[in-house]
């Protein structure tokens, strides 16, 4: 079970890294590893422990728990063919709606905090 989880997490780190445009050598440098060692990590030849997973998640700007539950079928996939790239969006409508609701909530929170800041500036 632990070996299966390690394999899944190793592959997920690459699936999250690639769309962000981070090459393996960048990740390796950030983790103070050689590119070869990082490649072995993604290929599950080196065990991925919680501390390293946390560091990788930080570099990739994702929560470690999100990385564990990451579903790569929901990301954009680029398939080079004849020098062209085709992008396929596999986001389900419900997930898109959830993100849109979260964005709306955050925008409202920003408006509220700006109003609070203006109020404090006016009173000082």
| Residues paired with residue 85 on neighbouring β-strands, in sequence order | 80
Answer for the pair 24, 39: CB distance below 8 angstroms, yes or no.
yes
What does the pLDDT read at residue 72? 60
Whole-number Å distance between alpha carbons of 47 and 42: 9
Contacts of residue 46, defined as CB under 8 A and 6 or more positions apart, other chains included, come to 37, 40
Q: 40 burial class (0-12, 13-18, 19+ CB within 10 angstroms)? A: middle
The model's pLDDT over 24-47, given as tens digits with 9 standing for 90+, comes to 999 999 999 999 999 998 888 888
Residue 20: band (very low, low, confident or very high) from pLDDT cuts 50, 70, 90: confident
pTM score, two decimals? Answer: 0.53
Instruction: Using alpha carbons, list the distances in angstroms from residue 22 to 49, 60, 114.
Output: 21, 8, 34
């Amino acid at each position: 079970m632990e070996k299966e989880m390690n394999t899944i997490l190793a592959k997920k780190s690459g699936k999250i890294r690639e769309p962000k445009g981070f090459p393996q050598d960048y990740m390796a440098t950030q983790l103070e590893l050689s590119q070869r060692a990082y490649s072995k990590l993604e290929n599950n030849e080196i065990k991925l422990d919680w501390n390293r997973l946390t560091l990788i998640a930080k570099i990739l700007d994702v929560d470690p728990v999100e990385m564990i539950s990451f579903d790569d079928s929901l990301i954009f996939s680029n398939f080079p063919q004849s020098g062209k790239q085709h992008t396929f969006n596999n986001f389900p409508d419900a997930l898109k709606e959830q993100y849109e609701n979260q964005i709306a909530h955050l925008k409202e929170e920003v408006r509220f905090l700006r109003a609070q800041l203006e109020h404090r500036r006016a009173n000082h």
